[in-house]
Copies of this chain bind each other. A is one copy, B any other.
Amino acid sequence: MDDSLRKLKQEVLEANLELVQQGLVVSTFGNASGITRDRKFVVIKPSGVDYSALTSEDLVVTDLEGNIVEGTLHPSSDLPTHLVIYRSFPKVGGVAHTHSRFATSWAQAGLEIPCFGTTHADYFHGPVPITESMQPHEIENGYERNTGNVIVRRFAELDPTEFPSVLVSGHGPFSWGASAREAARTAVLLEEIARIALYTIHLNPEAASISPALLDKHFLRKHGPQAYYGQK
């Protein structure tokens, strides 16, 4: 086995376990994947396998069409969604999908998450977007691939590096990043942002989004050429 693929498997395993450790997973819901640098192979969690027993040997390797290259288990049934994201968003190196409580509740409520504060602005350059509802013909044929398509349509005028998560209406969040590790971390932060946003509208149903100046300040002090947060 190729050495970079071995490392990717280890990283994807750790990203999946991170989702569990952070309390984002109930039962077998949720999955994280990563793509090789040459964008030829994707490593993903197998379908419906208990996290407590998961090893990097169980992970499934496929090409970008979903053909299995390595592994004896079925890949996550959400694989086609991940593949559409990798094909459409060339800077994305990892994807994480969960049914985490608060982000899923916003998805079920059919609402984007407004940017109520700087915690949110540190990671998203505006509201967390939500897809439109899927049509019956999109659901009945090629459902998981069409879930990817409805995400990509939502990003027609959005930059996925400025909005590293999306809520699929009536379903739950997909998050991404430069790597599987970053995707899992974004999933954790999204859950926290979704949680405090729920509490915020609980306290004040008329709560306002922060000003464009404050949004830009926080997003841009962490991201892009003017960033000055953290260590070099």
Residues of A within 8 A of B (CB): 26-29, 46-49, 73-74, 77, 99, 101-102, 104-111, 116-119, 133-134, 136, 139-140, 143, 170-172, 185, 188-189, 192, 195-204, 207-208, 210-211, 213-214, 217, 221, 228-232
Chain B neighbourhood of A47, CB < 8 A = 229-231
Query: Complex Cα distance A39/B21, Å?
Result: 40
Chain B neighbourhood of A197, CB < 8 A = 108
Query: Complex Cα distance A111/B211, Å?
Result: 17
Q: Are A217 and B140 in contact (CB under 8 A)?
A: yes
Chain B neighbourhood of A49, CB < 8 A = 230-231
Chain B neighbourhood of A140, CB < 8 A = 213, 217
Chain B neighbourhood of A185, CB < 8 A = 27
Chain B's closest residue to A46 (CB) is: B231
Query: Complex Cα distance A29/B170, Å?
Result: 30
30 residue pairs A–B, Cβ–Cβ below 8 Å: A26-B189, A27-B185, A27-B188, A29-B119, A46-B231, A47-B231, A48-B230, A74-B230, A99-B196, A102-B199, A104-B117, A105-B200, A105-B202, A105-B203, A107-B117, A108-B116, A108-B200, A109-B116, A109-B201, A109-B203, A109-B204, A110-B204, A111-B203, A118-B170, A136-B213, A139-B211, A139-B214, A140-B217, A170-B214, A201-B203
